[in-house]
Amino acid sequence: MALAFGLFIAPFANSANAQEKKPMIRIARIVVDSVRLTEYRAALKEGIETAVRLEPGVLTLYAVYDRERPTHITVFEIYADEAAYKLHIQTPHFLKYKETVKDMVKSLELVDAVPIGLESKH
């Protein structure tokens, strides 16, 4: 991968695609089997905690459920760039999450998003 090769001399130095250096924002909308909600939430929580702790390019993973429809999950995701996202989906913790929840997820919609403003106290 370009990122791995780029790190050989200097981070991002020879990336061919300028787009890969931009933050990547995604909104995941997930509907979960209602009888497996507790298990699903535990798997998701573990997955996002591990990703933000271990992966330098995983900047933010905010996972919530709708109060009125607890089976409806939203994850607001910010990666340092597209390469960081591509690394993320190959990590053991992500693959473990996907395997754990594969029979719990009824639908999954991934929306690529563009920032208007990302304002936070943190």
Binding mask 49-68 for a second copy (x = CB under 8 A): x-xxx----xxxxxxxxxxx
Choose which of 27, 28, 31, 105 interacts with a second copy (CB under 8 A). Answer: 27
CB nearer a second copy, residue 14 or residue 54: 54
Rounded least distance, CB 87 to a second copy, Å: 15
Structure tokens at 43: 């798997």
Distance, C-alpha 4 to centroid of its chain: 20
The yes or no reply on residue 114 touching a second copy (CB under 8 A) is: yes
CA distance 30 to 52: 20
- Evaluate whether 35 touches 92 at the Cβ level (below 8 Å): no
Amino acid at the residue 61: L
Amino acid at the residue 24: M
Number of residues that bind a second copy (CB under 8 A): 37
The yes or no reply on residue 102 touching a second copy (CB under 8 A) is: no
Rounded least distance, CB 53 to a second copy, Å: 8
CA distance 13 to 20: 12
The yes or no reply on residue 32 touching a second copy (CB under 8 A) is: no
CA distance 44 to 21: 27
CA distance 71 to 98: 17
CB nearer a second copy, residue 102 or residue 122: 122
Residues that bind a second copy (CB under 8 A): 25, 27, 41, 44-45, 48-49, 51-53, 58-68, 70, 73-74, 76, 111-122
